Structure 1
């Protein structure tokens, strides 16, 4: 059963808001797997409202340490694409599933799944990116780990929306 989650609360009376990347590495979206369930990444992507001030990078990776984030709400922030499906099993909390990190934590180990270079001079390319993983190449995030979408825009912040579509693997 697939779920989609964005780097902000689910839209209601207003559109999904973009979030500033800041000028240092910043976790824009984090998903925390529980001790009983892995997740398989189906697709991920992002869009920027403007190019960054200097070349940057957006990463999709698994880490062993949580960032401190704004907590998502399982029932509304992590959208089950099946209207009759259950709520996600992801772990919720400010050191779990959420968005817009205020502290990155001391990461000791990562498993990178994708990375995208951003150009500071081109507004034609690099502002929107989506990757759909082939069925035999879908990354699996281990139990008790964190999937992060991280942005590094070193000199000037950019406003970003990002998402991950995943399925839970028992």
Structure 2
């Protein structure tokens, strides 16, 4: 049996009546999606993003672990969903304004980090799956973020899929 997997998006997906709404990147460094792992480590299976339009300026997109420094975000609430087992147990990830959430209002002071992936992006969409057995592991109680930096705001949707 496969390990339990979970997915979260940078928006509230708890009661969708239409497609999820993309969120503006703004024009400075901004965490678009943040995962705070719970009492166990997580293995990242896939991540990705798309923009509403083709960017008119380069968008720098980072997949980064920032240890125990968390951005201030909109709490994901009940937006963490089971992915491969619809009746499976809930994720151990922690939701909250300084935990799992989206669209940061404050980045926090990051003193050390681990860059897991980086895109210098002009395209409209990207996704990356990690080979089984080669997935990046995220430590217990730490922060995994999708961050963007661009000089021209663009609306972005992004997601993470991980196993616990």
Question: Could you state the TM-score of these two structures normalised by the residue count of structure 1?
Answer: 0.89
CA–CA distance in 2 between the matches of 1:13 and 1:164?
Answer: 21
CA–CA distance in 2 between the matches of 1:157 and 1:91?
Answer: 29
Indicate the residue corresponding to 1:123 in structure 2. Answer: none
User: Which of 128, 131, 152 pairs up with 1:156?
Assistant: 152
User: 1:53, 1:157 within 8 Å by CA — same for their partners in 2?
Assistant: no
1:116 matches 2:119: yes
User: Which of 5, 8, 14 pairs up with 1:5?
Assistant: 8
Give unmatched runs, 5+ long, in structure 2: none
Indicate the residue corresponding to 2:128 in structure 1. Answer: 131
User: Which of 48, 61, 64 pairs up with 2:64?
Assistant: 61
Q: Which runs of 4+ in 1 moved over 6 A?
A: none
Indicate the residue corresponding to 1:50 in structure 2. Answer: 53
Q: How many residues align?
A: 158
Give unmatched runs, 5+ long, in structure 1: 120-125
Greater fraction of residues in helix: 1
For the aligned residue pairs, the C-alpha RMSD in angstroms reads 1.1
